[in-house]
């Protein structure tokens, strides 16, 4: 994908490696994507596919000597990977924010929630303690925390899981960033709370025009909220498409496999699930050629040797030598 002028962030050929005693872990292996203002980009993949590490690299949150990062991350024309720590510090919160899966470990247990929200504001703006506290209470009210004035005086452990995630969102959006990285924001929450949080994120996005990168393993969450979706496998991008096309006309066997292994809420059970055989590879020993070939029903000799490039149109591309056969197989299933 080429980085047009309207892109807010474009990630170009991002590599992240960790050097360990057991070998080099290629957590992210040459990934490119971009996001425009106000857009929601879903990144899906299973554990260890590199989706969270990409986000951490973007935020400059990976420990430098251990993590080897290559490539470019352009934010409004600036390369974040070349930025110094001071520059990143001012960018984080102001322009890019992140919310995590587990809000309890992301909040400081010994400070009151209101104090923590106010701290974010004070770190970036010349503002007194009292007005910052006042803003914090307003923010807590905006994210739907009941009795915000009183709740601001409580500690994270006094909040429920859903309220903690609301508090995290309040902190993340305190300074109206242009981009929000949401790393499995609802995975730890119950479904009714997940629905509350996702609808809150949608509302705030509409009001503020925030671009959201939604990292998740849940294809349902992506289907409901993402405009565009990236599918990652073993540190690589295997398919990118609009949410509709991805679900209804996948072109990569891994995407097809994920969809067929999914138990469906909205259908009467007809048959057994069709899981993907085997397990995801270790990122130290990624199979040669296409990383998915040992688990793939479409694989041929070529897949064992050549790493397939991401090919297709600008709207829908897949990294598979046999994407036409995958599309045909999918069409046959839909007809039947």
- Interacting residues with other proteins (CB under 8 A): 46-47, 146, 160-163, 190-196, 198-199, 217-225, 243-244, 247-248, 257-259, 261-266, 268-269, 272-277, 279-280
| Gap between the Cα atoms of 63 and 110, Å rounded | 25
CB of residue 86 vs other proteins: minimum separation in angstroms?
Answer: 39
The smaller minimum CB distance to other proteins, of residues 45 and 60, is found at: 45
42 vs 52, 193, 235, 245, CA distance in Å?
12, 20, 16, 13
| Gap between the Cα atoms of 117 and 132, Å rounded | 8
CB of residue 38 vs other proteins: minimum separation in angstroms?
Answer: 18
Q: Classify residue 294 by burial, with Cβ atoms within 10 Å: 0-12, 13-18, 19+.
A: middle
Which tokens sit at 190? Answer: 């119950």
The smaller minimum CB distance to other proteins, of residues 40 and 97, is found at: 40
CB of residue 274 vs other proteins: minimum separation in angstroms?
Answer: 7
State the CB neighbour count (10 A cutoff) for residue 98. Answer: 23
The smaller minimum CB distance to other proteins, of residues 60 and 235, is found at: 235
The smaller minimum CB distance to other proteins, of residues 134 and 274, is found at: 274
- Write the CB contacts of 325 (distance below 8 Å, at least 6 apart in sequence): 298
CB of residue 211 vs other proteins: minimum separation in angstroms?
Answer: 19
For the chain, the 3-state helix, strand and coil shares in percent, each to the nearest 5, are 40, 20, 40
Closest CA to 245 of 336, 335, 330: 330
CB of residue 286 vs other proteins: minimum separation in angstroms?
Answer: 16
The smaller minimum CB distance to other proteins, of residues 77 and 146, is found at: 146
The smaller minimum CB distance to other proteins, of residues 32 and 186, is found at: 186
Question: 239 in helix, strand or coil?
Answer: strand
State the CB neighbour count (10 A cutoff) for residue 157. Answer: 9
CB of residue 254 vs other proteins: minimum separation in angstroms?
Answer: 9
């Amino acid at each position: 994908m080429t980085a047009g002028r309207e892109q807010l962030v474009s990630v170009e050929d991002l590599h992240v490696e960790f050097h360990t005693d057991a070998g080099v872990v290629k957590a992210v292996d040459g990934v490119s994507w971009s996001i425009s203002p106000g857009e929601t980009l879903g990144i899906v993949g299973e554990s260890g596919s590199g989706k969270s590490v990409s986000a951490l690299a973007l935020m400059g949150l990976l420990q430098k000597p251990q993590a080897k990062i290559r490539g470019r991350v352009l934010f409004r024309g600036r390369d974040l990977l070349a930025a110094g720590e001071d520059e990143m510090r001012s960018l984080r919160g102001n322009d890019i924010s992140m919310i995590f899966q587990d809000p309890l470990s992301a909040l400081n247990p010994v400070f009151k929630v209101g104090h923590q929200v106010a701290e974010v504001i004070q770190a970036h703006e010349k503002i007194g303690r009292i007005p910052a506290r006042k803003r914090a209470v307003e923010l807590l009210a905006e994210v739907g925390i009941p009795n915000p004035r009183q709740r601001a005086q409580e500690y994270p452990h006094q909040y429920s899981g859903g309220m903690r995630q609301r508090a995290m969102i309040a902190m993340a959006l305190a300074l109206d960033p242009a981009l929000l990285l949401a790393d499995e924001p609802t995975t730890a929450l119950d479904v009714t709370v997940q629905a509350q949080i996702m609808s809150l994120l949608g509302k705030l996005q509409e009001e503020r025009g925030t671009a959201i990168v939604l990292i998740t393993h849940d294809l349902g969450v992506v289907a409901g909220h993402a405009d565009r979706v990236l599918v990652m496998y073993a540190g690589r991008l295997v398919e990118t498409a609009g949410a509709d096309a991805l679900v209804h006309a996948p072109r990569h066997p891994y995407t097809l496999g994920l969809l067929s292994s999914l138990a469906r809420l909205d259908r009467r059970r007809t048959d057994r699930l069709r899981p993907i055989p085997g397990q995801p590879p270790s990122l130290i020993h990624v199979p040669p050629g296409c990383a998915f070939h040992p688990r793939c029903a479409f694989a041929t000799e070529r897949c064992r040797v050549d790493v397939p490039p991401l090919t297709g149109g600008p709207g829908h591309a897949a990294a598979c030598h046999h994407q036409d056969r995958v599309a045909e197989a999918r069409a046959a299933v839909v007809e039947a």
